[in-house]
Amino acid sequence: MATVNYQINGLLKLYDEDSFEKGAIPDSGGAVVVELSFKAETPDGVIEKCAEFLGVKKDGIERNSNGDYGRVDFCVTEDSNSTPLSKSQYEQWKKGKIKAYAVEYIAQVEMVISGIPL
């Protein structure tokens, strides 16, 4: 019997240093491929698993970004350890006391059908 699951295999992480007052600072960041996999029975389920792992809130998730069906962007502000800012870190960042990074993780949700004999 065939089963259908949805997966995210790997993420592209784009990041720039972020100023609370001026926004993202051009040419201050980079890009890296993040080797992670998530699987669930529904597209929403796999997106929720990935968002939870990354510490991204619902308002930081954009589905079908740039008109690309299945593309999901996860946006979050992180510290230098790639951890979402805590409330106290956020307050320090607002005052210019610590660096923070505007991060966009780009993922592709894929449908996987298994159990079909060839």
Q: What is the number of structural domains in the chain? A: 1
Residue 118 has pLDDT above 80, yes or no: no
Domain holding 104, by residue range, is 3-113
This prediction's pTM: 0.90
Domain annotation covers residue 33: yes
Average pLDDT over residues 10-39: 94
The answer to whether position 118 is within a domain reads: no
Given a cut of 80, whether residue 76 has pLDDT beyond it is yes
Number of C-beta neighbours around residue 34 at 10 A: 13
Average pLDDT, whole number, for the chain? 94
Domain-located, residue 21: yes
> Shortest CA distance to 18 belongs to which of 78, 59, 74?
78
Mean pLDDT calculated for residue range 83-109 = 96
